[in-house]
Protein backbone atom coordinates (compact mmCIF):
# COMPACT_ATOMS: atom_id res chain seq x y z
CA UNK A 1 0.00 0.00 0.00
CA UNK A 2 1.33 3.43 -1.03
CA UNK A 3 2.38 5.78 1.74
CA UNK A 4 -0.02 8.57 2.58
CA UNK A 5 0.89 11.92 1.04
CA UNK A 6 2.49 14.20 3.61
CA UNK A 7 4.32 17.52 3.42
CA UNK A 8 5.39 20.79 4.97
CA UNK A 9 5.55 24.52 4.23
CA UNK A 10 9.00 26.01 3.55
CA UNK A 11 9.39 29.60 4.72
CA UNK A 12 11.17 32.14 2.53
CA UNK A 13 14.95 32.41 2.91
CA UNK A 14 17.86 33.80 0.91
CA UNK A 15 15.56 35.83 -1.31
CA UNK A 16 13.41 32.85 -2.18
CA UNK A 17 9.65 32.79 -1.77
CA UNK A 18 7.27 30.37 -0.09
CA UNK A 19 7.40 26.73 -1.13
CA UNK A 20 6.02 23.34 -0.14
CA UNK A 21 7.75 20.03 0.18
CA UNK A 22 5.66 16.84 0.12
CA UNK A 23 5.63 13.21 -0.89
CA UNK A 24 3.31 11.95 -3.60
CA UNK A 25 3.22 8.82 -5.75
CA UNK A 26 6.26 7.42 -3.92
CA UNK A 27 8.51 10.41 -4.70
CA UNK A 28 9.56 13.52 -2.89
CA UNK A 29 8.25 16.69 -4.48
CA UNK A 30 9.21 20.35 -4.18
CA UNK A 31 6.92 23.10 -5.46
CA UNK A 32 7.80 26.81 -5.49
CA UNK A 33 4.79 29.04 -4.76
CA UNK A 34 5.82 32.70 -4.69
CA UNK A 35 6.97 35.68 -2.65
CA UNK A 36 5.16 37.91 -0.20
CA UNK A 37 5.19 40.63 -2.87
CA UNK A 38 3.18 38.26 -5.02
CA UNK A 39 0.62 37.76 -2.24
CA UNK A 40 1.90 34.58 -0.63
CA UNK A 41 1.83 34.04 3.15
CA UNK A 42 2.08 31.10 5.58
CA UNK A 43 -1.70 30.65 5.63
CA UNK A 44 -1.97 30.69 1.85
CA UNK A 45 0.97 28.27 1.59
CA UNK A 46 -0.65 25.88 4.12
CA UNK A 47 -3.94 26.01 2.21
CA UNK A 48 -2.10 25.21 -1.04
CA UNK A 49 -0.29 22.29 0.62
CA UNK A 50 -3.59 20.92 1.92
CA UNK A 51 -5.15 21.11 -1.58
CA UNK A 52 -2.14 19.47 -3.21
CA UNK A 53 -2.11 16.63 -0.67
CA UNK A 54 -5.86 16.07 -1.15
CA UNK A 55 -5.42 15.90 -4.94
CA UNK A 56 -2.49 13.52 -4.53
CA UNK A 57 -4.59 11.37 -2.17
CA UNK A 58 -7.31 11.13 -4.87
CA UNK A 59 -4.69 10.51 -7.61
CA UNK A 60 -5.57 13.61 -9.64
CA UNK A 61 -2.55 15.77 -8.86
CA UNK A 62 -0.02 16.10 -11.66
CA UNK A 63 3.39 17.68 -11.40
CA UNK A 64 3.86 20.82 -13.49
CA UNK A 65 5.46 20.18 -16.86
CA UNK A 66 6.34 23.11 -19.15
CA UNK A 67 4.67 22.86 -22.57
CA UNK A 68 6.87 21.27 -25.15
CA UNK A 69 8.30 23.79 -27.59
CA UNK A 70 6.55 23.47 -30.92
CA UNK A 71 8.80 22.94 -33.88
CA UNK A 72 8.39 25.69 -36.49
CA UNK A 73 6.32 24.64 -39.48
CA UNK A 74 8.32 23.32 -42.40
CA UNK A 75 8.85 25.87 -45.17
CA UNK A 76 7.02 25.08 -48.42
CA UNK A 77 8.93 23.99 -51.49
CA UNK A 78 9.84 26.57 -54.11
CA UNK A 79 7.37 24.95 -56.52
CA UNK A 80 4.47 25.25 -54.05
CA UNK A 81 5.21 28.81 -53.01
CA UNK A 82 6.11 30.17 -56.47
CA UNK A 83 2.94 28.72 -57.99
CA UNK A 84 0.75 30.33 -55.33
CA UNK A 85 2.71 33.60 -55.52
CA UNK A 86 2.15 33.93 -59.26
CA UNK A 87 -1.49 32.89 -59.02
CA UNK A 88 -2.13 35.65 -56.45
CA UNK A 89 -0.20 38.24 -58.48
CA UNK A 90 -1.82 37.57 -61.85
CA UNK A 91 -4.86 39.89 -61.37
CA UNK A 92 -2.53 42.92 -61.06
CA UNK A 93 -0.10 41.98 -63.86
CA UNK A 94 -0.28 42.61 -67.59
CA UNK A 95 -0.74 39.57 -69.86
CA UNK A 96 2.77 39.99 -71.32
CA UNK A 97 4.28 40.07 -67.83
CA UNK A 98 2.34 36.95 -66.80
CA UNK A 99 3.55 35.13 -69.92
CA UNK A 100 7.14 36.19 -69.20
CA UNK A 101 6.97 35.02 -65.56
CA UNK A 102 5.45 31.69 -66.58
CA UNK A 103 8.19 31.17 -69.15
CA UNK A 104 10.95 32.00 -66.67
CA UNK A 105 9.45 29.76 -63.98
CA UNK A 106 8.35 26.79 -66.08
CA UNK A 107 11.32 26.69 -68.39
CA UNK A 108 14.17 27.63 -66.07
CA UNK A 109 13.63 28.29 -62.34
CA UNK A 110 11.33 25.38 -61.47
CA UNK A 111 13.46 22.66 -63.11
CA UNK A 112 16.33 23.80 -60.86
CA UNK A 113 14.64 24.82 -57.57
CA UNK A 114 11.21 23.08 -57.64
CA UNK A 115 11.82 20.44 -54.91
CA UNK A 116 13.94 22.61 -52.64
CA UNK A 117 12.32 24.12 -49.55
CA UNK A 118 12.53 27.88 -49.47
CA UNK A 119 14.81 27.90 -46.41
CA UNK A 120 17.20 25.50 -48.17
CA UNK A 121 17.99 27.88 -51.04
CA UNK A 122 21.34 29.58 -50.44
CA UNK A 123 23.79 31.72 -52.43
CA UNK A 124 25.63 28.63 -53.64
CA UNK A 125 22.39 27.24 -55.13
CA UNK A 126 21.75 30.51 -56.97
CA UNK A 127 25.31 30.48 -58.33
CA UNK A 128 24.90 26.87 -59.47
CA UNK A 129 21.73 27.86 -61.34
CA UNK A 130 23.51 30.78 -63.01
CA UNK A 131 26.47 28.57 -64.01
CA UNK A 132 24.13 25.90 -65.40
CA UNK A 133 22.32 28.45 -67.57
CA UNK A 134 25.59 29.84 -68.89
CA UNK A 135 26.76 26.32 -69.80
CA UNK A 136 23.50 25.55 -71.57
CA UNK A 137 23.89 28.66 -73.71
CA UNK A 138 20.12 28.87 -74.36
CA UNK A 139 19.73 32.20 -72.51
CA UNK A 140 21.71 35.38 -72.90
CA UNK A 141 23.07 37.31 -69.90
CA UNK A 142 20.09 39.66 -69.86
CA UNK A 143 17.57 36.80 -69.80
CA UNK A 144 19.48 34.96 -67.06
CA UNK A 145 19.54 38.13 -64.95
CA UNK A 146 15.80 38.62 -65.48
CA UNK A 147 15.12 35.11 -64.18
CA UNK A 148 17.33 35.82 -61.16
CA UNK A 149 15.37 39.00 -60.57
CA UNK A 150 12.14 36.99 -60.55
CA UNK A 151 13.70 34.50 -58.11
CA UNK A 152 14.67 37.41 -55.83
CA UNK A 153 11.09 38.78 -55.92
CA UNK A 154 9.64 35.40 -54.94
CA UNK A 155 12.11 34.98 -52.07
CA UNK A 156 11.33 38.53 -50.89
CA UNK A 157 7.67 37.52 -50.63
CA UNK A 158 8.69 34.34 -48.77
CA UNK A 159 10.53 36.55 -46.27
CA UNK A 160 7.44 38.71 -45.79
CA UNK A 161 5.45 35.55 -44.94
CA UNK A 162 8.06 34.30 -42.47
CA UNK A 163 9.20 31.29 -44.47
CA UNK A 164 12.79 32.57 -44.72
CA UNK A 165 14.96 35.22 -43.10
CA UNK A 166 13.82 38.46 -44.82
CA UNK A 167 17.25 40.05 -44.28
CA UNK A 168 19.06 37.34 -46.24
CA UNK A 169 17.79 36.92 -49.78
CA UNK A 170 20.36 34.76 -51.61
CA UNK A 171 19.21 35.97 -55.04
CA UNK A 172 19.78 39.67 -54.30
CA UNK A 173 22.97 41.57 -55.09
CA UNK A 174 25.24 42.15 -58.06
CA UNK A 175 27.40 39.15 -57.22
CA UNK A 176 24.52 36.87 -58.15
CA UNK A 177 24.13 38.47 -61.59
CA UNK A 178 25.87 37.64 -64.84
CA UNK A 179 28.48 40.28 -65.62
CA UNK A 180 28.14 41.66 -69.12
CA UNK A 181 29.60 44.49 -71.13
CA UNK A 182 27.28 47.16 -72.46
CA UNK A 183 26.57 46.55 -76.16
CA UNK A 184 27.85 49.05 -78.66
CA UNK A 185 24.86 50.94 -80.03
CA UNK A 186 25.50 52.54 -83.42
CA UNK A 187 23.95 55.93 -83.96
CA UNK A 188 23.75 58.77 -86.47
CA UNK A 189 26.27 61.51 -85.70
CA UNK A 190 25.50 65.20 -86.36
CA UNK A 191 27.89 65.39 -89.35
CA UNK A 192 26.00 62.48 -90.97
CA UNK A 193 22.54 64.02 -90.58
CA UNK A 194 22.57 66.35 -93.63
CA UNK A 195 23.38 63.44 -95.94
CA UNK A 196 20.73 61.22 -94.35
CA UNK A 197 17.98 63.81 -94.77
CA UNK A 198 18.99 64.63 -98.35
CA UNK A 199 18.83 60.92 -99.20
CA UNK A 200 15.53 60.29 -97.39
CA UNK A 201 13.15 61.35 -100.17
CA UNK A 202 9.52 61.10 -99.05
CA UNK A 203 10.70 59.77 -95.69
CA UNK A 204 12.50 63.04 -94.97
CA UNK A 205 9.77 64.71 -92.83
CA UNK A 206 9.57 61.62 -90.60
CA UNK A 207 13.33 61.31 -90.08
CA UNK A 208 13.61 65.07 -89.59
CA UNK A 209 10.95 64.92 -86.87
CA UNK A 210 12.74 62.10 -85.05
CA UNK A 211 16.11 63.86 -85.28
CA UNK A 212 14.83 67.38 -84.57
CA UNK A 213 12.26 66.55 -81.87
CA UNK A 214 13.61 63.35 -80.31
CA UNK A 215 10.45 61.33 -80.90
CA UNK A 216 10.31 57.54 -80.94
CA UNK A 217 9.35 55.75 -84.12
CA UNK A 218 5.91 54.83 -82.74
CA UNK A 219 5.33 58.36 -81.43
CA UNK A 220 6.01 59.84 -84.86
CA UNK A 221 3.71 57.38 -86.62
CA UNK A 222 0.92 58.20 -84.13
CA UNK A 223 1.04 61.96 -84.75
CA UNK A 224 -2.07 63.67 -86.09
CA UNK A 225 -2.22 67.17 -87.56
CA UNK A 226 -3.90 68.69 -84.47
CA UNK A 227 -0.76 67.63 -82.55
CA UNK A 228 1.30 70.15 -84.55
CA UNK A 229 0.99 73.83 -83.65
CA UNK A 230 2.91 75.84 -86.26
CA UNK A 231 2.17 79.12 -84.45
CA UNK A 232 3.97 78.11 -81.26
CA UNK A 233 6.34 75.69 -82.94
CA UNK A 234 5.45 72.67 -80.78
CA UNK A 235 4.42 69.04 -81.19
CA UNK A 236 2.15 67.34 -78.66
CA UNK A 237 2.97 63.68 -78.11
CA UNK A 238 -0.34 62.22 -76.96
CA UNK A 239 0.51 58.53 -77.46
CA UNK A 240 3.65 57.14 -75.82
CA UNK A 241 4.83 53.92 -74.19
CA UNK A 242 5.25 55.69 -70.82
CA UNK A 243 3.32 58.34 -68.87
CA UNK A 244 6.38 60.60 -68.94
CA UNK A 245 6.40 60.25 -72.74
CA UNK A 246 3.16 62.23 -73.03
CA UNK A 247 4.62 65.69 -73.50
CA UNK A 248 4.90 68.86 -75.56
CA UNK A 249 8.12 69.21 -77.58
CA UNK A 250 9.68 72.47 -78.75
CA UNK A 251 10.67 72.40 -82.43
CA UNK A 252 13.77 73.87 -84.06
CA UNK A 253 12.91 76.61 -86.54
CA UNK A 254 14.02 74.49 -89.53
CA UNK A 255 11.85 71.53 -88.49
CA UNK A 256 8.93 73.85 -87.78
CA UNK A 257 9.18 75.20 -91.35
CA UNK A 258 9.64 71.68 -92.75
CA UNK A 259 6.45 70.43 -91.11
CA UNK A 260 4.59 73.58 -92.19
CA UNK A 261 5.61 72.97 -95.80
CA UNK A 262 4.65 69.32 -95.44
CA UNK A 263 1.20 70.41 -94.23
CA UNK A 264 0.80 72.71 -97.23
CA UNK A 265 1.74 69.94 -99.66
CA UNK A 266 -0.57 67.42 -98.04
CA UNK A 267 -3.52 69.90 -98.12
CA UNK A 268 -4.87 68.33 -94.92
CA UNK A 269 -5.39 69.61 -91.40
CA UNK A 270 -6.61 66.39 -89.81
CA UNK A 271 -5.70 62.73 -89.76
CA UNK A 272 -2.19 61.29 -89.63
CA UNK A 273 0.68 63.70 -90.28
CA UNK A 274 2.70 60.95 -91.94
CA UNK A 275 0.42 58.61 -93.92
CA UNK A 276 1.70 55.92 -96.26
CA UNK A 277 1.04 55.77 -99.98
CA UNK A 278 -2.44 54.36 -99.29
CA UNK A 279 -3.25 57.38 -97.07
CA UNK A 280 -3.28 55.12 -94.02
CA UNK A 281 -1.22 55.69 -90.89
CA UNK A 282 2.45 54.91 -91.38
CA UNK A 283 3.74 51.77 -89.60
CA UNK A 284 6.93 51.59 -87.53
CA UNK A 285 8.19 48.59 -89.52
CA UNK A 286 7.76 50.44 -92.81
CA UNK A 287 9.68 53.45 -91.46
CA UNK A 288 12.51 51.20 -90.29
CA UNK A 289 12.69 49.40 -93.64
CA UNK A 290 12.71 52.62 -95.66
CA UNK A 291 15.32 54.16 -93.37
CA UNK A 292 17.72 51.36 -94.35
CA UNK A 293 17.36 52.45 -97.97
CA UNK A 294 17.96 56.10 -97.04
CA UNK A 295 21.12 55.09 -95.13
CA UNK A 296 22.55 53.29 -98.17
CA UNK A 297 21.96 56.37 -100.33
CA UNK A 298 23.34 58.72 -97.68
CA UNK A 299 26.53 56.69 -97.39
CA UNK A 300 27.27 57.33 -101.07
CA UNK A 301 27.35 61.08 -100.37
CA UNK A 302 29.29 60.60 -97.15
CA UNK A 303 31.88 58.59 -99.05
CA UNK A 304 32.37 61.46 -101.50
CA UNK A 305 32.81 63.85 -98.57
CA UNK A 306 35.27 61.46 -96.89
CA UNK A 307 33.02 61.23 -93.80
CA UNK A 308 32.53 57.99 -91.88
CA UNK A 309 29.43 56.16 -93.21
CA UNK A 310 26.35 55.50 -91.14
CA UNK A 311 26.35 52.03 -89.58
CA UNK A 312 23.88 49.72 -91.28
CA UNK A 313 22.59 48.59 -87.85
CA UNK A 314 21.26 52.07 -87.09
CA UNK A 315 17.52 52.12 -86.36
CA UNK A 316 14.99 54.97 -86.11
CA UNK A 317 15.45 54.88 -82.32
CA UNK A 318 19.09 55.91 -82.85
CA UNK A 319 17.84 59.34 -83.91
CA UNK A 320 16.81 60.03 -80.29
CA UNK A 321 20.48 59.91 -79.31
CA UNK A 322 21.28 62.17 -82.25
CA UNK A 323 18.64 64.62 -80.98
CA UNK A 324 20.31 64.68 -77.54
CA UNK A 325 23.74 65.17 -79.15
CA UNK A 326 22.50 68.15 -81.14
CA UNK A 327 20.84 69.76 -78.13
CA UNK A 328 23.92 69.34 -75.95
CA UNK A 329 26.25 70.62 -78.66
CA UNK A 330 24.02 73.71 -78.72
CA UNK A 331 24.37 74.10 -74.95
CA UNK A 332 20.91 72.99 -73.76
CA UNK A 333 20.41 71.92 -70.14
CA UNK A 334 20.40 68.10 -69.59
CA UNK A 335 17.24 68.25 -67.46
CA UNK A 336 15.42 70.15 -70.23
CA UNK A 337 16.62 67.64 -72.84
CA UNK A 338 15.45 64.72 -70.67
CA UNK A 339 11.99 66.30 -70.36
CA UNK A 340 11.83 66.85 -74.12
CA UNK A 341 12.75 63.19 -74.66
CA UNK A 342 10.06 62.06 -72.21
CA UNK A 343 12.46 60.74 -69.57
CA UNK A 344 11.75 61.14 -65.85
CA UNK A 345 15.49 61.10 -65.06
CA UNK A 346 18.28 62.74 -67.09
CA UNK A 347 20.50 59.64 -66.80
CA UNK A 348 20.39 58.78 -70.52
CA UNK A 349 20.95 62.41 -71.44
CA UNK A 350 24.00 62.68 -69.21
CA UNK A 351 25.55 59.61 -70.89
CA UNK A 352 25.35 61.41 -74.23
CA UNK A 353 26.42 64.80 -72.88
CA UNK A 354 30.17 64.27 -72.46
CA UNK A 355 30.74 62.86 -75.95
CA UNK A 356 28.39 65.34 -77.63
CA UNK A 357 30.01 68.52 -76.34
CA UNK A 358 33.51 67.36 -77.34
CA UNK A 359 32.77 65.79 -80.72
CA UNK A 360 33.13 68.97 -82.80
CA UNK A 361 36.68 69.49 -81.52
CA UNK A 362 37.81 66.27 -83.21
CA UNK A 363 36.36 67.04 -86.66
CA UNK A 364 38.08 68.71 -89.62
CA UNK A 365 37.26 69.54 -93.21
CA UNK A 366 33.90 68.57 -94.67
CA UNK A 367 32.89 66.72 -91.51
CA UNK A 368 33.20 69.93 -89.50
CA UNK A 369 31.12 71.81 -92.06
CA UNK A 370 28.40 69.15 -92.03
CA UNK A 371 28.42 69.14 -88.23
CA UNK A 372 27.87 72.90 -88.15
CA UNK A 373 25.15 72.61 -90.79
CA UNK A 374 23.35 70.11 -88.52
CA UNK A 375 23.67 72.50 -85.57
CA UNK A 376 22.27 75.38 -87.64
CA UNK A 377 19.34 73.17 -88.59
CA UNK A 378 18.74 72.10 -84.97
CA UNK A 379 18.99 75.61 -83.47
CA UNK A 380 15.77 76.89 -81.95
CA UNK A 381 15.80 80.60 -82.89
CA UNK A 382 12.77 82.72 -83.53
CA UNK A 383 13.08 83.23 -87.30
CA UNK A 384 10.40 84.89 -89.42
CA UNK A 385 6.71 84.18 -88.87
CA UNK A 386 5.65 81.01 -90.63
CA UNK A 387 2.44 80.98 -92.66
CA UNK A 388 0.52 77.79 -93.34
CA UNK A 389 -1.78 79.28 -95.99
CA UNK A 390 0.53 79.17 -99.01
CA UNK A 391 2.32 76.54 -101.04
CA UNK A 392 6.00 75.99 -100.24
CA UNK A 393 8.05 78.32 -102.39
CA UNK A 394 11.00 77.40 -104.56
CA UNK A 395 14.19 79.41 -104.83
CA UNK A 396 16.77 79.78 -107.63
CA UNK A 397 14.46 78.13 -110.12
CA UNK A 398 14.07 74.96 -108.06
CA UNK A 399 10.82 73.02 -107.79
CA UNK A 400 9.15 72.87 -104.37
CA UNK A 401 10.32 69.26 -104.00
CA UNK A 402 13.92 70.16 -104.88
CA UNK A 403 13.86 73.13 -102.52
CA UNK A 404 12.62 70.85 -99.77
CA UNK A 405 15.63 68.58 -100.29
CA UNK A 406 18.13 71.45 -100.02
CA UNK A 407 17.65 72.81 -96.52
CA UNK A 408 21.27 71.91 -95.81
CA UNK A 409 23.75 73.98 -97.84
CA UNK A 410 26.82 72.38 -99.34
CA UNK A 411 29.90 72.40 -97.09
CA UNK A 412 31.85 75.04 -99.06
CA UNK A 413 29.80 78.21 -98.31
CA UNK A 414 29.19 77.38 -94.65
CA UNK A 415 30.50 80.08 -92.34
CA UNK A 416 32.94 78.49 -89.91
CA UNK A 417 31.20 79.35 -86.70
CA UNK A 418 33.39 79.62 -83.63
CA UNK A 419 31.09 77.58 -81.41
CA UNK A 420 32.23 77.46 -77.80
CA UNK A 421 31.98 74.00 -76.32
CA UNK A 422 29.57 74.08 -73.32
CA UNK A 423 31.30 73.43 -70.03
pLDDT in tens, 7-60: 899 988 877 889 999 888 888 888 888 888 889 999 999 999 999 999 988 888
pLDDT at position 330, please?
87
pLDDT at 214 over 70: yes
The b/e string for 309-330 (b: 16+ C-beta within 10 A; e otherwise) is: ebbeebbbebbbbbbbbbbbbb
pLDDT at position 181, please?
63
pLDDT at position 395, please?
36
- Give every CB contact of residue 423 below 8 A, 6+ residues apart in sequence: none
pLDDT at position 174, please?
87
pLDDT in tens, 270-285: 889 999 888 889 899 9
The CATH topology of domain 78-170 is DNA polymerase; domain 1 (1.10.150)
Q: Is 419 left (phi over 0), alpha (psi -120 to 50) or beta?
A: beta
pLDDT in tens, 144-201: 999 999 999 999 999 999 999 999 999 998 888 998 765 567 889 999 999 999 999 9
Model confidence band, residue 353 (pLDDT cutoffs 50, 70, 90): low
Name the range with the highest mean pLDDT among 230-234, 365-369, 393-397.
230-234
What CA–CA distances, in Å, run from 398 to 199, 402, 406?
A: 17, 6, 10
pLDDT at 232 over 50: yes
pLDDT at 417 over 70: no
What CA–CA distances, in Å, run from 286 to 94, 275, 281?
A: 28, 11, 11
pLDDT in tens, 386-406: 554 544 444 333 444 433 444
Average pLDDT over residues 192-218: 93
Beta bridge partners of 5: none
Model confidence band, residue 349 (pLDDT cutoffs 50, 70, 90): low
Residue 187's CB is within 10 A of a number of other CB atoms, namely: 20
pLDDT at 263 over 70: yes
CA dihedral 132, 133, 136, 137 (to 10 degrees): -150
pLDDT in tens, 294-319: 999 999 999 999 999 999 889 999 89
pLDDT in tens, 64-121: 777 766 766 889 999 999 999 999 999 999 999 999 999 999 999 999 999 999 999 9
pLDDT at position 415, please?
30
pLDDT at position 363, please?
77
Q: Which architecture characterizes domain 190-404 according to CATH? A: Orthogonal Bundle (1.10)
pLDDT at 63 over 70: yes
Is the pTM higher than 0.75? The answer reads: no
pLDDT at 409 over 90: no
Amino acid sequence: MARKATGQVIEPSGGRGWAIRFRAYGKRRYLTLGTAAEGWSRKRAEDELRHVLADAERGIWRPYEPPAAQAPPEAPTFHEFASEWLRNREPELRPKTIASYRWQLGGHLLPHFARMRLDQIGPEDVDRYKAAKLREGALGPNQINKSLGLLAMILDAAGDYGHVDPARNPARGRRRRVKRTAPSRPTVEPEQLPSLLEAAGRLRPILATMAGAGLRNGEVCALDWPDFDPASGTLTVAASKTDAGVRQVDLPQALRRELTDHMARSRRSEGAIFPNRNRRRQSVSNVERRMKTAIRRANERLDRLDIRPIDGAVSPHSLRRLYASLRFALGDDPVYVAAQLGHTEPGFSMKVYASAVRRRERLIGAALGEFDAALDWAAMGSGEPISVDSEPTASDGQSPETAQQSLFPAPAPIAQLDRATPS
